[in-house]
Amino acid sequence: QKDWGIAGEASAVRRTITVRMTDDMKFAPATITVTEGETLRIRAVNAGKVLHEIVLGTQAELDAHAELMRKHPNMEHDEPYMAHVEAGQRGDIVWQFNRPGTFAFACLIPGHYEAGMRGTVTVRPR
State pLDDT tens for residues 17-73: 999 999 999 999 999 999 999 999 999 999 999 999 999 999 999 999 999 988 887
How sure is the predictor about 76, in pLDDT bands with cuts at 50, 70 and 90? confident
| Helix (H), strand (E) at residue 71 | helix 59-71
Can you name the residues that pair with 21 across neighbouring β-strands?
Answer: 27, 46
pTM confidence score:
0.95
d(CA 40, CA 113): 23
Across 23-100, where does the E strand assignment appear?
26-28, 31-35, 38-46, 52-57, 82-85, 90-97
**Residue type, position 58, single letter:** T
